[in-house]
């Protein structure tokens, strides 16, 4: 089974050269969105670690603790060695689709999105501080939020989707516009 820290490392590794690299707060929001969309799309959890409803949004305590020394600064490297081989192709596609949907938002916006009234974080938070966000709440919530499917969109746009390389990147034909 994939652990939350493995998923965090995936996001950190993929995002380290972007304009908005992962911070502790950002990676925890991405974990929340990935778990919710995995429950909605695949019907199973991506990882077994609990997601807690903290003041500034959903947090996986172990991941937070691993990267707490970075404070609000970008995380410079993964916390431990990991391999893409631990992920299924469906999981890699899902994680890339989560990046495609949420990377355009600032961390502040991600916090606001995760704080939606009557959403899973809000429900858990109203029960008591730092309460566990329930999987069934995430699944029912994220079933109503569209997540782009990069392969499907490419097929609809060009009639071909190329292929995913060993790292999960979509490789399109040279004549793709």
Closest CA to 100 of 165, 28, 168: 168
Supply the angle between the helices 89-102 and 4-15 in degrees, to the nearest 10.
60
Task: State pTM to two decimals.
Answer: 0.83
pLDDT score of 79: 83
**How many whole angstroms from its chain centre is CA 145?**
14
Q: What's the rounded mean pLDDT across residues 119-135?
A: 88
Confidence check: pLDDT of 111 > 80: yes
- What token pair was written down for 140? 């029912």
Question: Domain locations in the chain?
Answer: 4-146
Closest CA to 170 of 152, 155, 150: 150
pLDDT, tens digit (0-9, with 9 covering 90-100), for 90-110? 999 999 999 999 999 999 999
pLDDT score of 172: 63
Q: What's the rounded mean pLDDT across residues 72-88?
A: 89
pLDDT score of 156: 44
């Amino acid at each position: 089974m994939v652990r939350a820290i493995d998923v965090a490392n995936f996001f950190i590794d993929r995002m380290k050269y972007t304009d908005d690299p992962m911070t502790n707060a950002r990676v925890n929001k991405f974990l929340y969105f990935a778990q919710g969309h995995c429950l909605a799309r695949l019907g199973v959890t991506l990882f077994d670690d609990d997601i807690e409803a903290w003041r500034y949004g959903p947090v996986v305590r172990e991941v937070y603790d691993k990267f707490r020394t970075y404070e609000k600064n970008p995380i410079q490297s993964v916390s431990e060695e990991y391999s893409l081989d631990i992920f299924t192709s469906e999981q890699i596609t899902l994680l890339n689709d989560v990046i495609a949907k949420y990377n355009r938002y600032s961390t502040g916006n991600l916090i606001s999105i995760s704080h939606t009234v009557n959403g899973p974080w809000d429900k858990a938070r109203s029960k008591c501080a730092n309460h566990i966000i329930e999987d069934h709440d995430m699944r029912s919530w994220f079933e109503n939020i569209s997540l782009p499917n990069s392969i499907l969109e490419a097929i609809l746009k060009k009639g071909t989707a190329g292929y995913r390389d060993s790292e999960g990147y979509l490789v399109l034909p040279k004549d793709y516009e």
